[in-house]
Chain A
Amino acid sequence: MTTAPLIEARDLTKTYVTSEPYTAVKGIDFEVRPGEAFGVLGANGAGKSSTMRMIACVSPVTSGTLRILGMDAARDGERIRARLGVVPQDDTLDTELTVRENLLIYGRYFGIPWKALRERCDQLLAFSRLEDKGSQAVSTLSGGMRRRLTIARALINQPEILLLDEPTTGLDPQARHLLWERLFQLKEDGVTLLLTTHYMDEAEQLCDRLVVMDAGKIVAEGSPADLIERHSTREVLELRFAAHERQLMIDKCAGVTERVEVLPDRLVLYTGDGESTLAAVHALGVRPAGAFVRRSTLEDVFLTLTGRSLVE
């Protein structure tokens, strides 16, 4: 466990110089180790993309230190970028080129010879399940395909680290699962993954370790199981009420469990044992319109830490 981290951020800060300067990342510390899948979980505007763009060496670091692959992001940007794969939040495929040309020319930006590129292109098209789309215009691809092409493009230089900024946002469930499956494959092949997401299921599925980011700061760090254990209870009881007696019922539930969260659409009770809490609630004369016991998730961790839900 003493391997040197691939990415090491110390007091990393990003301030945008606009008409009124805005600090999007406020002195964060973290390390990404070789071979792991590391996640940054946070709501919109938390500073995830700003962090990712600094790591990709496209956005200058305002202060603090950022070391990637043993080099300094501020000085060695070009050499670092040669060994990274970057999947930005918004698709930035070259719409003037075909699917295959997109991969080819991107490889040329890395200085890869044409001959090697043609071979690599075929492999990547197969990997991203786009074998029969090579000569099509990018605009004819579905959202999931575009995303897979962007990932294929990021892999053209056989990167040691793959950065993925919200890889599945906006995709339907089927497209998401296909993408996750491809990312698992990459991880098996030894590629270090660093991804941001605001989906707790994505973070749970893909990440060995993650940080929870809120308003430019890291508020927790650990494995998904760790975080749930530290910041939530084992189970959760969710109750819904008819509108007219909602407030009355909520008042009655006060104190049933140590922690109760009132959300706009439901009441969330944190408990070690959901069924017995439900029984206790019934005993108090509470008649919920709907009751649901489930395991704690990262969503609950996020709620505990920030007092808000992940997806508004």
Chain B
Amino acid sequence: MSELTLRPGRAFSMVERNLLIYRHTWPVLLAEIFEPMMYLLAFGVGIGVLVGNVPGLADTTVSFPRFVAPALLATAAMNGAMNETTFNMYAKLATEKTYQAILTTPMSSRAVALGEVTWALLRGTIVSTTFLVAVSLIGLTGTWTALLVVPAALLIGATFASLGLVVVTLLRSWQDTQLIQLVMLPMFLFSTTFFPLSVYPKPVQWLVEALPLYHSIELVRACFLGTGWRHALIAIAYLVVLGLAALLVAVRRLDRTLRT
């Protein structure tokens, strides 16, 4: 029975472990904040000068940088969470045997999984908050609902961290991690990051609408611009359901991988 009780205390020791490590390696987080800033400068401002406002949107007054910034933030939340639970976790699972050592203590696979997801979230919050402050400072946010971007990024982080957990239990070798990139990059480019959905032909639109990053971006964009709330609700439902399902599958698979 005791295996089934959820112990936040135990799971939190995974967060403590990561905090100990990040005391030495915190500059990694800076890199994660700079990456979306660079994209914003290069694409948002650069292309923005060329295209002016975004065509095909209901609200034609939205400038290109204001269109791209929330998408980059959603993507950063996704990448931060996925990196943590795929690359970093795979090292601990396959190479370092860190989890095997942890499971000789009263910690359960569930506590390990929840702990790593919690850490990915904490980290994601730091990144998204900093990014939000930065884009506000350059005047890209207009409404108070932009503050909702932080909880939205939290939800996105939780969903992708859980998805990453499933993925990590499927990896057979380091080569397989390249497949992750193979999925992530096109998803980044197609999920209305740089273009509104309406520029694609109908079949492509349906495909894009199935992507978790698309809904993440819609959610952050709604908060950021203060419009499109109906869409935001759909996105929330989608992310919650997907995240919970992924977490359930991940904990079971992780337990089977770790306890042979």
Contacts and interface: CB of A to CB of B under 8 A. Distances in A.
Contacts of A77: 3
Given A78-B106, A97-B21, A92 B13 contact: no
B183 interface: no
Contact of B10 (A16, A92, A93, A111): A111
Nearest to B108: A78
Given A60-B259, A77-B3, A86-B104, A92 B21 contact: no
Contact of A88 (B17, B104, B259): B104
Contacts of B2: 76, 78-79
Interface of A: 16, 56, 58-60, 76-79, 81-82, 84, 86, 88, 90, 92-97, 101, 104-106, 108-111, 157
B136 interface: no
Shortest 6 CB-CB contacts between residues of A and residues of B: A92-B101, A109-B105, A86-B104, A108-B13, A82-B106, A92-B97
Nearest to B15: A108
19 contacts: A16-B260, A58-B103, A58-B104, A58-B259, A59-B260, A79-B2, A81-B104, A81-B105, A82-B106, A88-B101, A90-B97, A92-B100, A96-B96, A105-B13, A108-B13, A109-B102, A109-B106, A111-B9, A157-B105
Contacts of B97: 90, 92
A111 B106 contact: yes
Contact of A101 (B20, B102, B104, B259): B20
Contacts of A109: 10, 13, 102, 105-107
Contacts of B260: 16, 59
A86 B105 CA distance: 8
B16 interface: yes
Interface string B1-42: 011000001100100110011000000000000000000000
A110 B105 contact: yes
Nearest to A104: B20
Contact of A56 (B10, B17, B104, B107): B104
Nearest to B111: A109
A105 B259 contact: no
Given A92-B96, A101-B20, A109-B102, 4 more contacts: A81-B104, A86-B104, A92-B97, A106-B105
Contacts of B3: 77-78
B101 A79 contact: no
B98 interface: yes
A69 to B, nearest CB: 13
A97 B104 CA distance: 18
A83 to B, nearest CB: 9
Interface in B26-84: none
A110 B103 CA distance: 11
Contacts of B107: 109
A82 B3 CA distance: 13
A65 B52 CA distance: 73
Interface string B86-120: 00000000001110111111111000000000000
Nearest to B255: A60
Contacts of A56: 104
Contacts of A108: 13, 16-17
B201 to A, nearest CB: 45
A64 B21 CA distance: 42
Nearest to B12: A108
Contacts of B100: 58, 88, 92
Candidate in A88, A93, A109 with the most chain B CB atoms within 10 angstroms: A109
Given A58-B100, A95-B96, A111-B9, A105 B16 contact: yes
Contacts of A96: 21, 96, 98
Contact of A105 (B17, B106, B258): B17
Residue picked from B3, B21, B104, most chain A C-beta under 10 Å: B104
Contacts of B96: 92, 94-96
A105 B20 contact: yes
